[in-house]
Structure formats: C-alpha cells, structure tokens
Amino acid sequence: MKPIFSMNSFEGWNLSLPLIQGGMGVGVSLSGLAGAVAAEGGMGVISTAQIGFEEPDFVGNEEECNLRGIRKHIARAKELSAGRGMVAVNVMVALQQYREHVKEAVRAGADAVICGAGLPIDLPELVEAGKAKIAPIVSSRRAASLILKTWDKKYGRTADFIVAEGPEAGGHLGFSREQLEDIPKIRFAEELTAIMEEKKQYEEKYHKQIPVFAAGGIWDAADAKQIKELGADGIQAATRFVATKECDASLEYKNAYVTAEESGVKIIKSPVGMPGRALNNAFVQKTENTAQRVERCYHCIKNCKPAQIPYCITQALIRAVHGDIENGLVFCGSNVGKIERISTVKEVIEDLMYEKV
C-alpha cells in the first residue's frame, strides 16, 4: 500500500498519518475510539459534549461530572495510544462550559484542542502557547479570516492547524439549511482552496506551517486523493469510525449505521440553533411536528431556552448512544448509507489513507 499524503507539513508533530478522527458527541468518540486512532498514528479526538453522562452523579451535577469525564477519558486515551499519535479534544463553542472544558483538557494533557459549533475567537486566551495545539473548524474563508485575524491582532498567535469542514459532514453544520438543500451549489472545493490561501499570510508572519485538514463526506482513498490534489495536508473523518469495534457507542448505535440507507438521512434543525445531518428515525419524525416537553435542564448549550425548544438534545443524544435508536437523535455524515459492516479502526484507516498498488 502507498500512503496518499506526505508528512512534510508535520515536522515535530507526534503523527505518522495526517488523519483526524472527528469528534462526535454525546459519548460516540470517547477514549476507546480516540485512543485506538492515536495508536495507529493519527489524531484521535474525544468529544467533551456532556462527556460525564455516565458518571453516577451526573444528573444535577453535570458541570463537575463533565470535567471529571474530560480528565478520565484523556488519561485513558493516552494509555491506549501507548505514546503514539495524538489525543485531542473537540469542544463546541456553543457549550455553556466551553471555556472550562478547554482549560480542563489542557490541564489533563490533551495534545490539541479543536473548536467548532461557533467561532472560537478567544481560544488562544484559554490555551497557553506550547501547552496544546489549537485549531478552529471553519466552513468558509470568511470564518477562517475572522478567526485568524482576531487571534493575530488580539493575542499575537495563530492556528496550529485548521479543519475545513464541508456540507456533507455529520452533526452540526456551518451552513444554512437553504444551502444544504442544494449542496452542489456550495462549491466547497473552491472554499477549501480559498481557506488555504487565507492562511498563507499567517504562515509567513509566524514562520510556521498551518496544515489544513479537509472534512465532510470523505469515504475512501479515492476521496482522500482528490482532497490532496486540491492542496489539503490531511483529512478528518468521523462517520466511518462509528461502525468500528473500538467506537464508544453501543452496538445498537453502530448497527443503525450499518443498516442505514442514503434515503434515510435528513437535515434537521437542532435545538443548538444550527442545522444538522441525522438519521431520519421515529424520533426525528415525531419531533418535527410535536415538541417534547423539556422537564429539566442539563446545562449543555448557551442561550438554550427549555420552554422554546422542540426537545432536549442532551437526553436525545444519550438515549441514542445507549442504544435506544428510535427514541434518540443519531447524527451521521452523508455517506452513512455506504457502511455495510462493523470493522476496525485499523481497517478504516487503511481504506482512507492508502492507495492499493
């Protein structure tokens, strides 16, 4: 097998593959999956969204349990990785505990902090230079420009890498629902090229390379090769890692991916206030027309008004990851219908990162 990407942009990084396993919450990408990806030389990512949901005192003590969960899962992922690869966290800017999660992850030894679901304008303030690599998730040159310009002017810092996420990704998306109704019009390849052009001035100013990882709808080595030809330094993939033995989700959750069909995927309006891509299951169909009463708040999202949202996203995601697929929310990428079996992290990485010669 021949590797698709070179490692020229990653001098000094503890990576042998320019691959990020995307963060998936609640409870889908925890230490089991992240540690396994890191052990193969990639960047395994733990989602901090309600990461403490399995702690016995979670209900009513969400904030402390989440911080405890961050410490626990970073330590376990590091142990599983055996010193190979990198262990990162994905922290949603939309979280009420966004700042606390970032700080706790750095204290716990995360190698990198990746932030999306909002613009991480203050991320350099939360991560001391040299403690961990920092990266935004962006879907447009405009967002990349705003973040990089602010970090430069306010903090004298720049990104260590960038995740450029296209419209075919799973979970919460950085596009309007109207845009997602006609994905070909988005022309993300052009946007990706523009993001790579935008970061050049900061590479020159800070005398460092800022690798760009492309994400969204990358299924196999052929897709990865196209991404490389556009000039990206690596890829981020998430959906394919769900149906692996190492993934932290329940077997029922993984099997929902295996049995999914392309026609069974839907763009939804999340209580987070962003569009998202999910399986069009009974839960999604029911909550489209009838709101579910939110009986208690789990303090997950900023500006959430429980009386005005169609359902509690924390409860919906926890039910799903525990295996109650028809009564929970199952986020997925556009290629979920191509998954036919539960494989291993090693198999997925080989299929994504190597040409068969």
Helices and strands in the chain: count of H runs, count of E runs: 14, 13
Sorting pLDDT into bands at 50, 70 and 90, what band is 308?
A: confident
State pLDDT tens for residues 130-156: 899 999 999 999 999 999 999 999 999
Statement: the pTM of the whole predicted model exceeds 0.85:
yes
Which tokens is 50 given?
Answer: 């309600």
Sorting pLDDT into bands at 50, 70 and 90, what band is 192?
A: very high
Query: Between β-strands 275-279 and 354-355, what pairing exists: parallel, antiparallel or unpaired?
Result: unpaired
Decide if pLDDT at 266 tops 70. Answer: yes
Query: Between β-strands 43-47 and 86-92, what pairing exists: parallel, antiparallel or unpaired?
Result: parallel
CA distance readout (Å), 326 to 50, 219, 247: 21, 26, 20
- Cβ neighbours, 10 Å, residue 340: 10
Classify residue 323 by burial, with Cβ atoms within 10 Å: 0-12, 13-18, 19+. middle
Find out whether 331 and 278 touch, Cβ atoms under 8 Å: yes
Please count the residues of the chain: 357
The single-letter code of the amino acid at 125 is E
Share of the chain above pLDDT 90, in %: 80
The beta strand positions in the chain, using DSSP E, are 2-3, 19-21, 43-47, 86-92, 112-116, 133-138, 162-165, 171-172, 212-215, 234-237, 265-269, 275-279, 354-355
Decide if pLDDT at 325 tops 80. Answer: yes
Could you tell me where the DSSP H helices lie in 243-291? 251-259, 282-289
Which tokens is 227 given?
Answer: 């991404």
Chain centre to alpha carbon of residue 66: 18
Mean pLDDT, the chain, rounded, equals: 93
Decide if pLDDT at 299 tops 70. Answer: yes
pLDDT score for 18: 97
Decide if pLDDT at 171 tops 90. Answer: no
pLDDT score for 91: 97
Sorting pLDDT into bands at 50, 70 and 90, what band is 301?
A: confident
In order of start, what are the domains of the chain with their CATH numbers? 2-249+338-355 (3.20.20.70), 251-336 (no CATH)
Query: Between β-strands 265-269 and 275-279, what pairing exists: parallel, antiparallel or unpaired?
Result: antiparallel
Decide if pLDDT at 327 tops 90. Answer: yes
Chain centre to alpha carbon of residue 75: 19
State pLDDT tens for residues 50-79: 999 999 999 999 999 999 999 999 999 999
Name the residue among 197, 245, 241, 176 with its Cα closest to residue 215: 241
Decide if pLDDT at 272 tops 80. Answer: no
Decide if pLDDT at 249 tops 70. Answer: yes
State pLDDT tens for residues 75-121: 999 999 999 999 999 999 999 999 999 999 999 999 999 999 999 99
Decide if pLDDT at 186 tops 70. Answer: no
Q: How is 143-159 classified by DSSP, letter by letter?
A: HHHHHHHHIIIIIS---
The pLDDT of 332-336, averaged and rounded, is 94
